[in-house]
Amino acid sequence: MKLVIAVVQDEDSEATVQALTEHEYRVTRLATTGGFLRRGNTTLMIGVDGAQVDDVVAVLRQKCRRRTVFTPLVSETPMMLPSSVVEVEVGGATVFVLDMERFEQV
Ligand code: 2BA
């Protein structure tokens, strides 16, 4: 079995979980925070057979969009202007696929 871990934007999480559930995948949703933007995102854990990984990734690709986010420029000095922002492109989904050594429900 494999564990698919996907970091998705909060805006996409509801539709993504719904689509995965409709495909009969089991999903755990975690509220997480990106280290760079320091804003909320959603991490999904999906345990599947190896043969299902490509289908899970296809659902993620379909439901998770890339977006441009404007974020305040972080500066080490107090010289930062209030209008200093940087443009960052985020998403669709950041996907990790791990070998699952053991899976059981007790
Ligand atoms: P954040 O860490 O908040 O990053 C948001 C976006 O900021 C990233 O989008 C990327 O476009 C940009 N970014 C991140 N680190 C950067 C850096 N050091 N320099 C310049 N730009 C940077 P995505 O790549 O789509 O990542 C979305 C979220 O996925 C991340 O939110 C983080 O929560 C997670 N993620 C991405 N790569 C990861 C990794 N290798 N390990 C763990 N989590 C990861």
pLDDT in tens, the chain (106 residues): 999 999 999 999 999 999 999 999 999 999 999 999 999 999 999 999 999 999 999 999 999 999 999 888 766 666 656 568 889 999 999 999 999 999 999 9
* pLDDT of res. 30: 98
The C-alpha atoms of residue 81 and residue 33 are separated, in whole angstroms, by 25
- What is the whole-number distance in angstroms between the Cα of residue 85 and the centre of ligand 1? 17
Is 35's C-beta closer than 6 angstroms to any atom of ligand 1?
A: yes
Confidence at residue 71, expressed as pLDDT on a 0 to 100 scale: 85
Q: What is the pLDDT of residue 75?
A: 63
Domain boundaries, the chain: 2-99
- Lookup result for tokens 């990734």: 57
Which CATH code of 3.40.50.10800, 3.40.190.10, 3.30.930.10, 3.30.70.120 fits the domain covering 2-99?
3.30.70.120
Is the pTM higher than 0.85? The answer reads yes
The H helix count followed by the E strand count for the chain is 2, 6
- Cβ of 89 closer than 6 Å to ligand 1, yes or no, is yes
pLDDT for position 73:
72
CA angle (64, 36, 63) in 5-degree steps: 5
By CB atoms closer than 10 A (0-12, 13-18, 19+), residue 44 is buried
